[in-house]
Structure 1
Amino acid sequence: MSFKKGKEIIEYRNYYLPSHFPLVFLSGPKWKISDIPSERLHFHNCLEIGICHSGSGTLRFCNGQEIHFFAGDITCIPRNTPHTTFSDPGTNSRWSYLFFDPRQLFIDLLQPNSPLFFLQEDVKKYIIPAQPSTNISFLAQASIQELSLPSANPILVRSYLFTLFTEIMHFQSKQPVPTAMEKETRRTAGSNILRVAPALDYIEDHYMNQFSMETLANLCHISLTHFRRIFQEVMGISPLHYLNSVRITKACELLTNTNRTILDIAEATGFSSLSNFHRQFSQMVHLTPSEYRKQVLSGNPEGQNPSIIRYTGWMEP
């Protein structure tokens, strides 16, 4: 989903984070970044931690801010932060990426009101240099090495990631407070994205509950009409369509990974009636929920996905 902001194109990427292990891991020789600056900035629904293995280049934001990166650097990009990355001329930098939602991944390790969760939304330094942040670099590399194993241990991975996350947030807490001008620059950058960000966050956290579009508009402090217009402009679809797409994505996960009944899954993903669930599911997936489950399980007899999701190459815009 993308929209144009003047001559600038900004794209929303919704990474699917499975509930049994809410992490997406991108790594390997195919994950190289071109030296051609993309016309598209993008933002996503979760925290991004990137590790630059080789090369150098630029991290660009929609306010025109550019930060140079080098091999060994760690990037920390909060959700709903438009950005793009490109390598220096004539080179291709190689990366590994971790996408996850700390609130989900560490749900039993931290209190819901932990300051660490609020720090991740207010990152002061997007690039963490390899030196002197040796602890962060070590933990990032350890996480990647374990995740790269064919039978990665989820318990060990989560332990590494929890320590990595706390170290990064500790690093962020020691950074200087942004000046008033820097705060204003961040506030105005991608202003329409920032205006609907509370709605995106709320949908991600409360899709299983019943709520109105007025609730989302109120969270964004704008009228319902204005909210619908801006949301459509930013996301390319209506707020209700987006909400239903999130619910259907979660339903697909439950159909694949659990033995729960169709009715239970409909209720667990926020649908008020079984008939509405069937209708929305069929429109988006072009199969009924039962047909989808049968098709998925026929190709996966045990009805289980890998414990950790991996991708093997660069994703198309």
Structure 2
Amino acid sequence: MPRKKKPVIEYRHYSLPLNFPILLLSGERWKISDIKSEHLHFHNHLEIGICHSDSGFMEIKGESIPFQAGDVTFIPRYLPHTTYSSPNTASRWSYLFFSPEDLFRYSFKGAYHNFEPNLQMLKGMNCIFNKENHPKIYTLATSVVEELKQQNTHYQESALGLLLSLYIELLRIHSMSLPLANQETEQNVKGDFVISPVLEYITKNYMRPITINFLADLCHLSPTHFRRKFHEMMGTSPLDFLNSTRIEEACKQLKRTDDSILSISEQVGFQSISSFNRCFSKLMGKSPKQWRKGVQSEAQSANASILEFTGWV
């Protein structure tokens, strides 16, 4: 019997606007095809989707869950999934991407608690919220989108407040729907996204010294197997992913603060200013000093950058 083909998993990196850490993708452009993609995908930020028309299915962790117009979806970062519409339709969506850390840090000036679901315990059915059963979720989600689209006076403050309320409401529902003490074993999660603990760890601890052996241990893999698995799923090495995470955070600090370049390099985890400058120039095409000078005269707002339209009409 031929071996079952492993699904291809694509990484989609979304860079949030540096001056306002929420990305909205909306409009007629954002329609889902009725052709089921052979690839699962995941992103580096949490995604909230609103289905405006038609229906279809979302595949999450081996489950195929139906959706319809009026549903709100809640996809934590690093959770592989795919979406496709019912035959002969193209469902229209709006998507919000944001980082919980950035959201709470931006709103409360540093006061942040780790409000994020455990991906190993998350069930696919917990990711879709029906308008009739969860009217508050739908109202808050659509209100955030409208604020960001209309951009009336003080829209950013309003959108942040609404999004905070929405996110906390989602986590309340999530916490009530899962067992209080569900310690899953390695065997239970064998089929899940094996490198997700590393992606989560790097996202929250990029500023610390990190070794390959430590990251491999998080996944219960040997260093060699871990390197191979990571590159297979991410298309890059663990070290390059770590450095790109550090550089992305450095860009935020270069824009938001007057801290010295040396200080910022240390804050994001580089051991020397020379390695920081070298890595920054390689990824951004200019030195940190040149980049900071440019961003002061022109607002940097990076768009969705990797595999942006794969699977879209």
Q: Common fold, TM-score beyond 0.5?
A: yes
The worse-fitting range, judged by mean Cα deviation, of 286-295 and 70-79 is: 286-295
2: CA distance, partners of 1:224 / 1:85? 33
> Cα offset for 1:75?
0.9
SS of corresponding position for 1:54: coil
2: CA distance, partners of 1:15 / 1:185? 32
Specify whether residues 35 and 294 from structure 1 end up closer, same or farther in structure 2 by C-alpha distance, changes over 3 A only.
same
* 2:81 aligned partner: 83
Specify whether residues 110 and 73 from structure 1 end up closer, same or farther in structure 2 by C-alpha distance, changes over 3 A only.
farther
Give runs of aligned pairs for residues 22-33 of structure 1, distance below 5 A.
Answer: 22-33=21-32
Query: Which segments of 5 or more consecutive residues in structure 1 lack a partner in the other structure?
Result: none
The worse-fitting range, judged by mean Cα deviation, of 5-14 and 194-203 is: 5-14
> Cα offset for 1:119?
6.1
Say if 2:205 is the partner of 1:206: yes
Check whether the contact 1:26–1:310 (CA below 8 A) recurs between aligned residues: no
Give runs of aligned pairs for residues 260-299 of structure 1, distance below 5 A.
Answer: 260-298=259-297
Partner deviation per Cα, 1:211-268 (whole Å, 9 max, x = no partner): 2222212222322222222212221211111111112222233334444332222222
Q: 1:316 pairs with 285, 309, 313, which one?
A: 309
> Cα offset for 1:71?
0.3
1: CA distance, partners of 2:163 / 2:119? 14
Say if 2:241 is the partner of 1:242: yes
- Percent identity of the aligned residues? 43
> Cα offset for 1:186?
7.8
Say if 2:52 is the partner of 1:43: no
Query: Which segments of 5 or more consecutive residues in structure 2 lack a partner in the other structure?
Result: none
Q: 1:172 pairs with 171, 174, 182, which one?
A: 174
Matched residue type, 2:309: E
* 2:162 aligned partner: 160
Specify whether residues 296 and 175 from structure 1 end up closer, same or farther in structure 2 by C-alpha distance, changes over 3 A only.
closer
1: CA distance, partners of 2:264 / 2:157? 27
SS of corresponding position for 1:117: coil
> Cα offset for 1:154?
2.5
SS of corresponding position for 2:89: coil
SS of corresponding position for 1:66: strand
Partner deviation per Cα, 1:167-211 (whole Å, 9 max, x = no partner): 222323343659x9x99998243x4xx321111111111112222
* 1:128 aligned partner: 129
* Cα root mean square deviation, aligned: 3.1
> Cα offset for 1:18?
5.4
* 2:10 aligned partner: 11
Give runs of aligned pairs for residues 32-71 of structure 1, distance below 5 A.
Answer: 32-61=31-60, 63=62, 65-71=63-69
1: CA distance, partners of 2:252 / 2:148? 21
Partner deviation per Cα, 1:105-137 (whole Å, 9 max, x = no partner): 124497625xx5346774441211111211111
1: CA distance, partners of 2:178 / 2:194? 26
Specify whether residues 15 and 6 from structure 1 end up closer, same or farther in structure 2 by C-alpha distance, changes over 3 A only.
same
2: CA distance, partners of 1:186 / 1:95? 33
2: CA distance, partners of 1:120 / 1:38? 22
Specify whether residues 295 and 103 from structure 1 end up closer, same or farther in structure 2 by C-alpha distance, changes over 3 A only.
closer
* 1:137 aligned partner: 138
Check whether the contact 2:104–2:112 (CA below 8 A) recurs between aligned residues: no
2: CA distance, partners of 1:135 / 1:9? 36
